[in-house]
Structure 1
Amino acid sequence: MGFPGTWMTESQSVVYRVVPKCACSTIGQILYYSDHGRFFDGDIHDAQTGLHKWGIEESQPLIADNVNAHRSFAFTCVRNPYTRILSSFFDKICGIQRNGRRYRGNLVPLLVQKYGVEVGGDDGQEDFDQVRAFRRFLLFARDTIRWRRPMDPDIHWSSMSGHIGTFVVNGGRYDRIFWTERFNDGMQDVLDQLQTPVPVDLTRIPRFNESEGHGPKRAHPVEAYFDDLSMHLVYEIYKRDFDLFKYDFENPGNKMPIGEIDLDEVHAKLGD
């Protein structure tokens, strides 16, 4: 299986396991800058040069060799499951993507037909009941993850522990996992461990939110989207994420972690 979703700088200064909806665009651009002294012109996910990626065939033996020998500092980044699934909904389901189309072609028509999800009209900008639509989407997300129907789960709402676990199962080991909610502290801690060709001043790095503006603005606070049933569904889907990455399941309005991530626990529980 190898190391899907894994990126590595060309200088092999650092290895990063991408987790969708967890500041991956900003992190990717920081890694690119740390080698080249400039940012990639465009969405870093589209870059085919300047950064080793598992999705690029020539990069695979280099990444595998590095990770198996644990030659470089390896890290990833996580996010509160409540805000992550909400972000996925507004970006991927309600939003128009960079190509001017809906995400994954027939996905949104399927959601409208089978789950009664409203998405704000053809351009995603019309008013609609965001809370009702999101809760119906949540049923769909649960169905894809639990029963792989009516389709396989999408990377943007499949669990973080699922993404992160592939790295561990196949022989990788993380040196650091940090929270998007404390991004500056976590990313600085990673940079402090590295010797990069180009020094990185984190205070001068912009945020690359490639999904910003794709969909309608969230009209309510996070907790308004989650009633008892929605919380139950979220826990059913993301129990391991809450437990391993120390987020507060009881209070959707609290996006901050409530404990410290135990790397030994992560490796033990995801290495099965």
Structure 2
Amino acid sequence: MSFPGTWMTTSESMVYRVVPKCACSTIGQIMYYSDHGQFFDGDIHDAKSGIHKWAMEKSQPLIRQNVTAHKSFAFTCVRNPYTRILSSFFDKICGIQRNGKRYRGNLVPLLVQKYGIKVGSPEDGFEFDQIKSFRRFLLFARDTIRWRRPMDPDIHWSAMSGHISTYIVNGGRYDRIFWTEDFNTGMQTVLDQVETATPVDLGAIPRFNESEGHGPKRAHPVEDYFDDLSMHLIYEIYKKDFQIFKYDFENPANKMPTGEIDLDEVHAKLGQ
């Protein structure tokens, strides 16, 4: 049994299934802080100690034992599919990464060549037609997810339900799933259920947005990026995300959920 993308505090106070582009940097730093009374110095994704991660071999037996026995409070966090894929585009496709290079090396040149996407550069102030390029990126994202061409789908734009289901299918159960759009309320419900070595005051916790400042700023309201065809593609890719996590497909301008997440429904529909 494997639990990819699963993080756990060293004290085993809580277990978190990472969903990329859903406040994972902030959540990881809160987990780290709750054990050590300080934040990890750097991007929490780079931490090799002070927090258990499935990607680290030595952590796997501990995570497996904890999750299969449901010893700790387990949670994850989701985000509106419209804003999530926009964030992926501006961060991973348009932005310069922490190492000073483009994401995944030859990915952006591939998109320029095959899909006619323009992303600008720091030298020109990232000047390009954001709406036109984003809609072409959507075609690429759909192609990777539906047909795994011209590459396998990337974790940053593959469906949240796919990430979240691996935890259930392999024997885990969530105690809480909350929305990034109401982050403090949701994270507080997690902290209220666990005992931490260091008290966490969410009001005083900074937001750790590791992608900020590495690329262009979004120049238009969310809804301007999605015409009728774009919405069709989004529904084709993220239908389950909208339905299970209660987001409004009909109105890209409404980032807020329209109802409560039903954990029994999540486990039933994603556990098959």
| TM-score, L = length of structure 1 | 0.99
Instruction: Count residues in correspondence.
Output: 272
Deviation of 1:123 after TM superposition, in Å, equals 5.1
Structure-1 residue corresponding to 2:98: 98
Residue identity matched to 1:100: G
Structure-2 residue corresponding to 1:247: 247
Q: Please tell me whether residue 57 in structure 1 is matched to residue 57 in structure 2.
A: yes
- Is the 8 Å Cα contact of residues 245 and 257 (structure 2) preserved in structure 1? yes
Structure-2 residue corresponding to 1:194: 194
* Aligned-partner Cα distance in 1 for 2:261–2:231: 22
User: Residue by residue, what CA displacement relative to the aligned partner does 1:111-155 show, whole Å, maximum 9, x if unpaired?
Assistant: 000000000136573311000000000000000000000000000
Residue identity matched to 2:149: R
Structure-1 residue corresponding to 2:230: 230
- Is the 8 Å Cα contact of residues 96 and 123 (structure 1) preserved in structure 2? no
SS of aligned partner of 1:240: helix
* Aligned-partner Cα distance in 1 for 2:124–2:216: 6
Deviation of 1:266 after TM superposition, in Å, equals 0.2
* Aligned-partner Cα distance in 1 for 2:196–2:234: 39
Residue identity matched to 1:157: W
* Aligned-partner Cα distance in 2 for 1:14–1:188: 13
Q: Give unmatched runs, 5+ long, in structure 2.
A: none
Q: Please tell me whether residue 24 in structure 1 is matched to residue 24 in structure 2.
A: yes
Residue identity matched to 2:138: L
* Aligned-partner Cα distance in 2 for 1:160–1:124: 34
The runs of at least 4 aligned residues of structure 1 exceeding 4 Å deviation read none
| TM-score, L = length of structure 2 | 0.99
Q: Please tell me whether residue 177 in structure 1 is matched to residue 191 in structure 2.
A: no
Same amino acid, percent of matched pairs = 82
User: Residue by residue, what CA displacement relative to the aligned partner does 1:19-44 show, whole Å, maximum 9, x if unpaired?
Assistant: 00000000000000000000000000
Structure-1 residue corresponding to 2:204: 204
Counting only pairs closer than 5 Å after superposition, residues 100-179 of structure 1 correspond to structure 2 as 100-121=100-121, 125-179=125-179
Residue identity matched to 2:242: F
After superposition, the CA RMSD in angstroms is 0.8
Structure-2 residue corresponding to 1:215: 215
Q: CA distance change for structure 1 residues 117 and 11 in 2, over 3 Å: closer, same or farther? A: same
Structure-1 residue corresponding to 2:263: 263
Structure-2 residue corresponding to 1:66: 66
* Aligned-partner Cα distance in 1 for 2:197–2:26: 18
- Is the 8 Å Cα contact of residues 82 and 252 (structure 1) preserved in structure 2? yes
- Is the 8 Å Cα contact of residues 9 and 35 (structure 1) preserved in structure 2? yes
* Aligned-partner Cα distance in 2 for 1:223–1:40: 36
Deviation of 1:108 after TM superposition, in Å, equals 0.1
Residue identity matched to 1:136: R
Q: CA distance change for structure 1 residues 251 and 124 in 2, over 3 Å: closer, same or farther? A: farther
- Is the 8 Å Cα contact of residues 117 and 137 (structure 1) preserved in structure 2? yes
* Aligned-partner Cα distance in 1 for 2:156–2:213: 17
Residue identity matched to 1:55: A
Residue identity matched to 1:22: C
User: Residue by residue, what CA displacement relative to the aligned partner does 1:179-231 show, whole Å, maximum 9, x if unpaired?
Assistant: 00000100011000010111111111110000001110100000000000000
SS of aligned partner of 2:150: coil
- Is the 8 Å Cα contact of residues 6 and 53 (structure 2) preserved in structure 1? yes
* Aligned-partner Cα distance in 2 for 1:222–1:54: 34
Residue identity matched to 2:146: R
* Aligned-partner Cα distance in 1 for 2:153–2:125: 26
Residue identity matched to 2:183: F
SS of aligned partner of 2:40: coil
SS of aligned partner of 2:119: coil
- Is the 8 Å Cα contact of residues 122 and 215 (structure 2) preserved in structure 1? no
* Aligned-partner Cα distance in 1 for 2:121–2:111: 13
Structure-2 residue corresponding to 1:76: 76
